[in-house]
Structure 1
């Protein structure tokens, strides 16, 4: 991963982390947990923010491992992209539901979860195939 590409992924991870914190904070303070709808919205935001922050950190870890020369290649890039796609689809669909989006957003979440799983598998294969 070249330096400018690494900087881009750091910026993407940082933006994702910021979104996760904002969503989690809004979930903690923006809905009335005494109502069923408020409790459900809060849970969706907390779950989405948890998965998003974990994968923002994963994107940063991939940048660091790549910069150290521990991993690299197409599988590393695939892991980055899959983490990003997962972060848009899984938490994004939960955020949409929390803010009153149509119920079909619930059907999008599994695609994001699948992207997360494939990202972790790509990272594992990148590590196993690393020359170092």
Structure 2
């Protein structure tokens, strides 16, 4: 995968984390408090942000060492983790659709697999 795409992906996901977090804190606060889901929403934003920062680190790493092996899979797994883990918690927080909580752990597994995959990374 092209390093420029990695940088763009990380930047977009980081910008979304800030935007979604701000929107939740201001625009959605009454809804989230009424649903009792403010903590869930904050967890989604926190994990979204942490892992998007990880993607930025991977993009910088790839820029510095273009021949690094296995980093692509970690990047992909963290991206999937953000979409499934944080995405399902965002929707759950706003809509109250509780069955989404059943898929959230799949995103967590993707996060764990992405980080553990770094064990295989070779420069």
Which TM-score band (shorter chain)? 0.7 to 0.9
Give yes or no for contact 2:7–2:59 (8 Å, CA) kept in 1.
Answer: yes
Q: How far did 1:78 drift?
A: 0.4
Q: 1:99 aligns with which of 68, 81, 94?
A: 94
- Structure 1: stretches of 5+ with no match in the other structure: none
How far apart are the structure 2 equivalents of 1:85 and 1:28?
25
Give yes or no for contact 2:32–2:94 (8 Å, CA) kept in 1.
Answer: no
How far apart are the structure 2 equivalents of 1:6 and 1:122?
19
Tell me the residue number matched to 2:119.
124
Q: 1:12 aligns with which of 5, 9, 31?
A: 9
Q: Across the two proteins, how many residue pairs are aligned to each other?
A: 122
Scaled by the length of structure 2, the TM-score of the pair is: 0.88
Question: Which consecutive aligned stretches of 4+ in structure 1 deviate over 4 angstroms post-superposition?
Answer: 33-36
Q: How far did 1:27 drift?
A: 2.3
| Deviation digits for residues 8-32 of structure 1 (CA, Å, limit 9, x no counterpart) | 1111111111221122112222223
Q: Which has the larger radius of gyration?
A: 1
Tell me the residue number matched to 1:54.
50
- Pairwise CA RMSD of aligned residues? 2.1
| Deviation digits for residues 39-90 of structure 1 (CA, Å, limit 9, x no counterpart) | 42x22221111111111111111111122118712x2010000000001000
- Structure 2: stretches of 5+ with no match in the other structure: none
Tell me the residue number matched to 1:26.
23
Partner of 2:95, secondary structure, is: coil
Q: How far did 1:101 drift?
A: 5.0
Scaled by the length of structure 1, the TM-score of the pair is: 0.82
